[in-house]
Amino acid sequence: MAFENILVEKSEGIATIFINRPKAMNALNAETLFELGDAIKEIAADDEVGAVIVTGSGDKSFVAGADITFMYPLDGMKARYFSGVGQSVFRQLEKLEKPVIAAINGFALGGGCELAMACDIRLASTTALFGQPEVGLGIPPGFGGTQRLSRIVGEGRALELILTANNIKADEAYRIGLVNHLYAPEELMAAARKMAKKIMSNAPTAVAISKSAIYRGLQVDIDTAMAIEADNFGLTYLSANQKEGMGAYMEKRKPTWVK
């Protein structure tokens, strides 16, 4: 499928999604969100893709936020719909069975920070900048920021970031656990691909089930979460990859996974 606001490149089993609106600092409007949703559907159905990287075109911005020129004239009902579109697409990304790595190469503000948080693992350039500046515009975060940020960095830090509308640099984002690793700008994409390949060297069924168990377990009490883990542990024994992985270990060889 051809896109106007994003680019999708596939290489060595990795699909890289570029938010591609450099003149708008890769800001998200409705069309971009719809295209992103379509790309996620395509990737979900593509058995040749084992991992996904999300990044921004150019070297200044991952996603600088939602498109204010698009948002300004909306009325309440249209704003609610726009929020729902963003939330739905980001949940698609979060629920994708394949691992998703954000390669944050610049500004990750507002909707950009929310997009990064919808990815499983966040790698950032040392020049990246993070924030949820929405209250300074008279609105709250609308693409999941009020929910995911507290789950990632804790309630106190999330409240501070959202209520002050302060931006933070990459080193502070790393310190509070918003990003997993920092890299020099020229090393970021190579690091993201290296991590994607490392994940892809493991059993795809086990990776998908582990991702699902983590996210489902975060929403329930610990006893229910343990039951989810036990159920998923049992499910892996229905996959040929369990026998292959353990068999390869005992035979001291590399496993050949079934996709």
From the candidates 48, 94, 134, 172, give the one annotated as an active-site residue: 134
Active site residue 134: yes
Where are the chain's structural domains? Answer: 6-200, 204-250
Render 183-219 in DSSP notation, one character per residue. E-GGGHHHHHHHHHHHHHTS-HHHHHHHHHHHHHHTT
- Pull the structure tokens for residue 11: 């290489």
pLDDT at 62: 98
Instruction: Say how far residue 99 (Cα) sits from the centre of its chain.
Output: 9
Give the CATH H-level superfamily of domain 6-200: 2-enoyl-CoA Hydratase; Chain A, domain 1 (3.90.226.10)
pLDDT at 6: 98
Q: Which of 43, 51, 46 is nearest to 198 (CA)?
A: 51
Cα–Cα distance measured from residue 43 to residue 47, given in angstroms and rounded to the nearest whole number: 8
Q: Is residue 141 left, alpha or beta, with left meaning phi > 0 and alpha meaning psi from -120 to 50? A: beta
From the CB of residue 246, how many other CB atoms can be counted at a distance below 10 Å? 11
Instruction: State in words which class domain 204-250 has.
Output: mainly alpha
pLDDT at 1: 72
Active site residue 114: yes
DSSP state for residue 148 in the 8-state scheme: H
Cα–Cα distance measured from residue 156 to residue 213, given in angstroms and rounded to the nearest whole number: 26
Cα–Cα distance measured from residue 237 to residue 109, given in angstroms and rounded to the nearest whole number: 42
From the candidates 48, 97, 114, 172, give the one annotated as an active-site residue: 114
Q: What is the pLDDT along the chain (259 residues), one digit of tens a residue?
A: 789 999 999 999 999 999 999 999 999 999 999 999 999 999 999 999 999 999 999 989 999 999 999 999 999 999 999 999 999 999 999 999 999 999 999 999 999 999 999 999 999 999 999 999 999 999 999 999 999 999 999 999 999 999 999 999 999 999 999 999 999 999 999 999 999 999 999 999 999 999 999 999 999 999 999 999 999 999 999 999 999 999 999 999 999 999 8
How much helix, strand and coil, in percent to the nearest 5, is found in the chain? 50, 15, 30
